[in-house]
Amino acid sequence: MDSDLLPVGRRVAYWRVRRKMSQQVFADRLGRSKSWVDKIERGVRSLDRVSTLRDIAAVLRIDTAVLLGRDARPADVTARAEGVERIRVALSTYEIALGRSAVRHAVLPAERLAGSVGHAWTTYQHARYPQLIAMVPELLAYAQRTHAHDPGAGRAPLVEAYRVTTSLLVKLGETDVAWLAADRAMAVATGDPVLVAAAAVQLGQVLRASGRARTAMSAMLAAAYRIAPPDPDDGAPAELSLCGTLLVQAALAAARHGDDRAAAELMDEAGDLAVRVGDGHDHHRTGFGPTAVGLARVAAAVELGDGQDAVAWHEKTTGREGWRWLPPEHRAGHLIDAARAYLQTDDAANAGRMLVDAERVAPAEIRHRPAAREVLARVARDPDAPATVTQLALTLGVA
């Protein structure tokens, strides 16, 4: 019999029998009643506490992972660290400047490189982080060589390669390496207002993630007003999307700094631009629109410690049609913010529901993002956490 295919209650019974224990003996060793054990094994009663699962596993002399029938090892931290190190090396090479690389390696045509960069962005937006980690070092090498060979056509793809690398590294909590990628993007973009504005979006993410909220706010406002059209009504949607996204970044930085008034004003300003752009677009990989601004309001409220306001914005915004049009990474990332909001209102049950939904939408968002794993651990420790969250936390080794 393959015990991994059984429900958890049946799995308890399977291992109890293998250990040659009667229900009464098993109950005595757990300090429970025989009736309690019988209900667990028949699935009448659920196992929804981390401590209880651990006690049962200890009595049965098995790992909690075996009891759950899932691989309880945390995400492959070693493989991820090795992948990040390869990205660091790719960002730290100066072969182009030294005139070494172009002679020894093939150069991709700019059009083909742009396709590869687009594929990388799609991989990111579907939260396939392990695949993207493996993809980025070679992508960066090709992008750098193409830019050296054809600076004009290769400039935009190189900036985009650095941008997607930065976004990935911020997700993985690798702020120092992300800063290097963002700095490279800004340097290559210099002289082109649109490319600078696009690169500045990721710069804002890095500055906030590294605790430099005031610097982030100042930089984002400068970038936003530089790209802003004289009359918003005459602005192109792509231009408005960049400007609005930078204003959102500035608002989030203000919230991180504790400036609720500035955060609200900047978010309102971004909201006005979002109405002009509408939902369902992804200009410059921003996903900017009314729904994106609504989700950003949730993140800002969480930063300010206003859980009730965050929950209200979450419930309002996820009911919009535009919610379904956002990529999995964006939706799952928001659900983690929503979990934090529910925790601030002492609602562990709904916080857990958000995390389960996030894991369903984009598993890697929970499994590979340190910030998400931290929220999961907090929810799992709550006595009111759903059993599904308890099992997920044990599976990922964060309980």
- Provide the token pair at 199: 């690169």
> How confident is the model over 207-235, as pLDDT tens digits?
999 999 999 999 999 999 999 999 999 89
Task: State pTM to two decimals.
Answer: 0.81
CA distance 353 to 359: 10
Give the pLDDT score at 101.
56
Q: Is the pLDDT of residue 298 over 60?
A: yes
CB atoms within 10 A of CB 367: 22
Mean pLDDT of 82-108: 77
Contact 344, 310 (CB under 8 A): yes
Amino acid at 202: Q
Locate tokens 């978010």: which residue? 267
pLDDT confidence tier of residue 3, bands split at 50, 70 and 90 = very low
DSSP single-letter state for residue 74: P
Give the confidence band of 396 by pLDDT, cuts at 50, 70, 90.
confident
pLDDT given at position 152: 94
Please give the C-alpha separations between residue 52 and each of 78, 247, 360, in angstroms, as whole numbers: 30, 48, 25
Assign 95 a pLDDT band (cuts: 50, 70, 90): low
Q: What is the dihedral of CA 196, 201, 207, 208, to 10 degrees?
A: 160
H/E run at residue 239: helix 237-257
Token pair for 233 = 């009504």
pLDDT above 70 for 6: no
Which pLDDT score is estimated for 33? 92
Between residues 181 and 47, the one the model is more confident about: 181
Q: Provide the pLDDT for residue 44.
A: 81
Confidence of residue 14 (pLDDT cuts 50, 70, 90): confident
User: What pLDDT shows up at residue 75?
Assistant: 44
Residue 58's closest CA among 6, 5, 12, 17? 12
The model's confidence at residue 387, banded by pLDDT at 50, 70 and 90, is confident
The tens digit of pLDDT for each residue in 45-67 reads 877 676 788 888 888 877 776 77
Distances (CA, A) of 59 to 1, 2, 8, 33, 360: 21, 20, 15, 15, 32
| Amino acid type, 132 | L
Convert the pLDDT of each residue in 125-135 to its tens digit: 999 999 999 99
pLDDT at 192: 96
How far is it, in rounded angstroms, from Cα 75 to Cα 362? 14
Phi/psi of residue 213, nearest 5 degrees: -65, -45
The pLDDT tens digits of the residues spanning 239-294 come to: 999 999 999 999 999 999 999 999 999 999 999 999 999 999 999 999 999 999 99
- Please give the radius of gyration of the chain, using alpha carbons only, rounded to the nearest integer: 24
The chain-wide mean pLDDT, for the chain, equals 90
DSSP-H helix ranges across 305-386: 307-317, 328-344, 348-361, 363-367, 370-380
Measured distance CA(237)–CA(219) in Å, rounded: 22
CA-to-CA distance for 366 and 376, rounded, in angstroms?
Answer: 8
Q: Given this model, what pLDDT does residue 343 score? A: 95
Does residue 308 register a pLDDT over 90?
yes
Going along the chain from its start, the domains and CATH numbers come out as 3-68 (1.10.260.40), 74-210 (no CATH), 340-399 (no CATH)
Give percent above pLDDT 90 in the chain. 69
Question: So what's the pLDDT on residue 390?
Answer: 82
Work out the pLDDT band at 334, boundaries 50, 70, 90: very high
pLDDT for position 70: 56
* pLDDT tens profile 197-214: 999 999 999 999 999 999
The pLDDT confidence band at residue 1, using thresholds 50, 70 and 90, is: very low
pLDDT at 74 over 50: no
Q: Can you tell me the mean pLDDT for 139-163?
A: 95
* pLDDT for 120: 98
pLDDT band at 20 (very low <50, low <70, confident <90, very high): confident
